[in-house]
């Protein structure tokens, strides 16, 4: 696929497939916002950068560092809720947020592919793989050539 791929949309409520219990909450983008990736990319796990932009009236719920452009892993997969006919993009941002951010604008730049979707024999195996994905993402984003994307005009920057 032609990376970088830019995505933007309001964070939607998911179907509680256990993101938070797995220690890995995933912020869902609305279906119509993921066309730039769903039309070109295969299902699986991706890495890149994301930023959450609260509306003015909710700005007080966020700390300054919650506004940063942050490393993320994204899962692109067929949504079982829609009988696997609809693709869903879910983003886990590698940052400890002060609060949830449902409805807030999320912006992302997807930079690369990590792996296909896999079937897991256990919850532990899944959690282990998510940990590996995060390490892979952080390592990949070390490349100086990628760091320019954190400063891209797709994101909002202070001053």
Neighbouring residues of 149: CB distance < 8 A, sequence distance ≥ 6? 4, 48, 49, 109, 111
The Cα–Cα gap between 91 and 125 comes to 20
Q: Nearest 5°: phi and psi at 70?
A: -125, 155
Residues numbered 34 to 73 that lie near ligand ADP (CB under 6 A) are none
The Cα–Cα gap between 36 and 141 comes to 21
- Is position 57 annotated as part of the catalytic site? no
Q: Which two tokens stand for residue 93?
A: 């941002």
Least separation in angstroms between residue 150's CB and ligand ADP is 17
User: Is 88 in contact with 76 (CB distance < 8 Å)?
Assistant: yes
Asked if 77 touches ligand ADP (CB under 6 A), the answer is: no
Least separation in angstroms between residue 103's CB and ligand ADP is 9
Asked if 77 touches Mg ion (CB under 5 A), the answer is: no
Q: With CB under 5 A as the contact rule, which of the stretches 13-21, 43-51, 52-60, 110-118 interacts with Mg ion?
A: 13-21
Asked if 14 touches Mg ion (CB under 5 A), the answer is: yes
User: Is 105 in contact with 10 (CB distance < 8 Å)?
Assistant: yes
Least separation in angstroms between residue 92's CB and Mg ion is 8
Site pattern 3..32 for ligand ADP (x: CB under 6 A): --------x-xxxxx-xx----xxxx----
The Cα–Cα gap between 143 and 101 comes to 29
Summarize as ranges the residues that interact with ligand ADP (CB under 6 A): 11, 13-17, 19-20, 25-28, 92-93, 95, 97, 100-102
Interface with Mg ion (CB under 5 A): 14, 19, 26, 90
């Amino acid at each position: 696929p032609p990376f970088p791929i830019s995505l933007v949309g309001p964070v939607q409520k998911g179907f509680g497939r256990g993101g938070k219990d797995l220690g890995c909450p995933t912020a869902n983008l609305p279906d119509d916002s993921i066309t730039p990736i769903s039309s070109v990319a295969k299902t699986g796990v991706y890495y890149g950068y994301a930023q959450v932009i609260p509306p003015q009236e909710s700005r007080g719920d966020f700390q300054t560092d919650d506004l940063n452009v942050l490393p993320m892993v994204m899962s692109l997969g067929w949504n079982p809720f829609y009988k696997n006919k609809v693709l869903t993009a879910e983003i886990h941002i590698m940052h400890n947020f002060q609060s949830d951010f449902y409805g807030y604008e999320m912006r992302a730049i997807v930079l690369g592919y990590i792996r296909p979707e896999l079937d897991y024999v256990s919850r532990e195996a899944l959690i282990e793989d998510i940990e590996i994905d995060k390490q892979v993402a952080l390592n990949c984003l070390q490349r100086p050539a990628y760091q320019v994307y954190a400063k891209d005009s797709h994101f909002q920057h202070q001053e």
